[in-house]
Structure 1
Amino acid sequence: MSPISPDDLHRIFKNLDKNNKGLVSTQELHHLLEKIGIHTTLEELENFVGRTSLDYIDFLFFYDAMVKARMQEQEADDVHSSHDHHDNDLFKAFKVFDLNGDGYISCEELQSVLSRLGLWDKRSGQDCKDMIRVYDENSDGVLDFHEFKNMMSVPPTSDHSET
């Protein structure tokens, strides 16, 4: 919803005020909102407005509240979209590790991918079961997407101590 100039708001109010009494009923306002694609019940609108008619000042406050609500809605949509994009990227990474496509990352799959990436030294004697066990919430020996996502969301820690 883009901002409307004060002159345009005044003109809208005058057009809604059919009987020139300086008041716009919530029924008239409801009709206008429906015409511009904002769907609500008359009862919801009256509860939001807190009365059955608005003078010009109340109308301006109502408009301001609508703009702020729309901006908050857009911000929430942006956050949700960003979150979805992040989850989509994580799911793509998960599929790289899930070599057999069964929806789980096994120790063998983890070790295979890490080896191909040059991040696993077989001679280290480390067991990837220990790596999986840390994030395996249901103790089934494999990581599902939720567990993988939690693992990828943990900030790295340093095991190095200064000497």
Structure 2
Amino acid sequence: MYPLNTKDLHRIFEKLDKNGDGFVSLEELNWLLEKIGVQYSIAELESSVGKPCLDLNEFLLFCKSISENNNCKSKGGHGLDEDGLKDGDHDTNEEDDDLMKAFNVFDINGDGFISCEELKDVLMRLGFLDETCSSGIDCKIMIHVFDTNLDGQLDFEEFKNMMLHTVS
């Protein structure tokens, strides 16, 4: 998966900070988490974060901690549990569930595929593309790179490969 850099997170922070006060409220943070398929109550977020709003540095630390937690989960162990399953088997199922939630965020019309238009719409809503980008050429390129059956859109397996792809 391509990690978000500080510049990307800064843009997301600015989009979330609707009133421009330099803070992201837990409601704004929860909105973002829901958009990417992560469900928390405001009480759970406040318990996790420890305060009612985050400044940019706190937001960056929060994102970093989420990223580190996901990396730890995805590495998994290799022992067997009481069901006889490898630790990694549970992680894979949980990882697939998380990826399916993310896939569903992008699959706006629910047809089981992510089109260029859907990808562009979600990336614009998350602040990765600005409204002036009308051609969607970057989205077409992103889809083309991982579109193994060359149908011009991503199915779940192609999306999964894109999200799990690491740059060496």
TM-score by length of 1: 0.48
Larger radius of gyration: 1
Using CA pairs under 8 Å that are at least 6 residues apart, name the structure with larger relative contact order, 1 or 2.
Answer: 2
